[in-house]
Structure 1
Amino acid sequence: MQSFSTFKLTQKMGVMLIIFALLSANFVAVGTVSQKYCLFNKYVAATKNDEQWFKHTQVYNMVAFAPDDVQSFHVTVNGLWNGFFANNLSSPFAFGRYLESLFSGATYESDEEFVETQHEQGLLVPGTILTTQGHYSFQGDKLEEYACRSINDELCYWDKNAESYWMNALNDEFIDWCIQHGKKAIDAGADLIVLDEVQGSGFIPMYQWASQYINWLNAPGFSNCTTEKFRNYLADKYNSSELQQLFNIDNLSNYDLRVRIAQTMYLTYVERVAMDPLNREYFTFLEVGNFQAKKRLIQELKKYAKKT
């Protein structure tokens, strides 16, 4: 609980953007709401087998409420941040399970048991995938392999107090991990999937700039994976004469892109682009790469949900 509060209440940079990947063949929510799962909110009409809950008014909260508060506020989707790390669980419902145990004293042997209990209480259940923030309780021995790196090849804290780290959305194997994590939620009966920190690599320029003011923040964006993908991006877009003319790069295959990018990382976005045109390419590469990675994640989960 302490680590979650520290992250959410003290993190001063960036705006958390949440995308709801509502699952089915039409990229909407799984299943329908039956009379068995009639919701607390009396204004929700979706109580028949042939009605889909996402077509009706729902009341969402971010952090799961206790049962009395759920009823008081007519909450129907309890805990969009269900999947934050807690209690050393590698689960897309880890934080929700932790809070529910505090509220009720119940313990859950599996994600399926947690989801079933929430359904019996008339609630829709979100599973959450952290798409930028990692933790050893989630990725285990693979965390360092999936993580972003600083210019000095160090791991980069996302939140030092929470002992969470920047994960590299441009690393295909990390996105594979996210896909498997999402499949856990679908298998357990989640009604929707929440992708948190979806900007991913798009955050990197801001964090590079901010790292000069935060002594524990190692600026991300310099892993071998990121550097080599940026090199390939430039090679696909420009020929050798264009690279020399536009960016003063004579031999791309041997050029030290990490040092070049790091030279301006303490400047603002506008200042960096004005000082070195290569930065605009770097920023675009980060944004496009992150978009493609999250698109693949959503498409794979849609495909999997359709089969189940």
Structure 2
Amino acid sequence: MAEVQPPRSGGIWAAADLLTPMAIRVAATLRLADHIAAGTRTAEALAEAVRADQDVLGRLLDHLVSAGVLSHTGTAGYDLTAMGRHLCDGAPEGMRAVLDIEGALGHAELSLVHLLHTVRTGEPAFARQYGLTFWDDLSADDERAESFDALMGARLKAHAPAVAAAYPWGQLRHLVDVGGGDGSMLITILQDHGELRGTVVDLPGPVRRAGKAIAAAGLDHRAGAVAGSFFDELPTGADAYLLSSILHNWDDAAATRIMRRCADAASATGRVLVVDYFTDQNIMTEGDLRMLCYFGGRQHTLEQLGEMAGSAGFGITSVTPAGRLAVVELRAAQ
């Protein structure tokens, strides 16, 4: 029987290949880059360090050389290429944790093999893969939940300087960061605007981390963290309610409910501020399918956000670019 090999001509195979992306994700999960950077360079030594089959790991390492992630040292060893160094813990983009199959996002990515099911039915792929929703899966696994919180905190921290610089936060007196996680976004905004007060509202786990982060930043005299759900009533009386990368995690009904809770708390004199991707088309389409497969969510367009806000009696009053994100201001319709 002839060997089964896919055709390699043209770019379509490179775009559709599953093997190399999975090989890189396995490398990230096993923390191979960190072991190699620390001087563990041979297949034998790496197999012992990561508790893997030496023969199979060697074959994986050789493919990672072909993929440009590793290089041969000439002494039966392996070294990191410039690409491979992105898989080290502490690399600026934090890609190792993102790609880790045992972490929250890497675990969710495996559900994308059921994209056909999602396209045919409109149902999330995650539940098809694992038999429960993304959020129920997090609730059942403390380590994965901590991974998710850490990944989201790192993402918010990376975008926070651009968001803090883009919008006139100094015009506000009190900002409530709804679903604000570990407080990374709020802390950066408060550090840039010395008169502003802030509150993080989130579930008990993130709130504990937010409280510690706020104290460590020396901001506990004008910021705090309150346990609560954005599906329930929110603290009233603030000038603005921030939703940073929140709405896309939920289906249309749930996202609209979150919006209404914020609008109710803001009432007629406050505003709701939505921070998300609204202008980068590549991010929009890729993120949209991921949110659909993970949660049944949606990466909203400005028009869709406006419709959702309209159902809560609010309308878009401004859109301010903030790096790759945008800050969309919503106020009560007059």
TM-score after normalising by structure 2: 0.28
Flag the structure with more relative contact order, 1 or 2, with Cα contacts below 8 A and sequence separation at least 6: 1
Return the structure number with greater helix share.
2
Return the structure number with greater strand share.
2
